[in-house]
Amino acid sequence: MLCDDVKRVVYFFLDGALGDVRSTEVRSHLSVCPECGRRAAVHERLRFFVRKRLARVEAPAHLKRRLQRSIRAFAAEWSS
């Protein structure tokens, strides 16, 4: 596998979306090509950072209750 091939599929590789054979080829290339290995590591750290920042945050219980009351009030008013 060539560097250009790895550049095209590295995101799929990091997502685990490549087949076993293709993943093995990419992993093999990354182990012998320091430049691609560094690039993949940077992409992996960036993806981890973004996932961590976009993690779901639970709304406080009081906010959920207020929203539920507002929705019920709106539905009751709308149905009248």
The H or E element containing residue 48 is helix 34-53
Q: How many beta carbons lie within 10 A of that of residue 13, not counting itself?
A: 20
Expressed as residue numbers, the domain containing 23 is 3-79
Burial of 5 (0-12, 13-18, 19+ CB in 10 A): middle
Q: Is this structure's pTM higher than 0.75? A: no
pLDDT at residue 30 above 80? yes
Total domains, the chain:
1
CATH number at residue 70: 1.10.10
Query: How far is it, in rounded angstroms, from Cα 51 to Cα 67?
Result: 27
**Alpha-carbon span 65 to 79, nearest angstrom:** 21
The 10s digit of each residue's pLDDT in 37-63 is 999 999 999 999 998 888 788 899 999
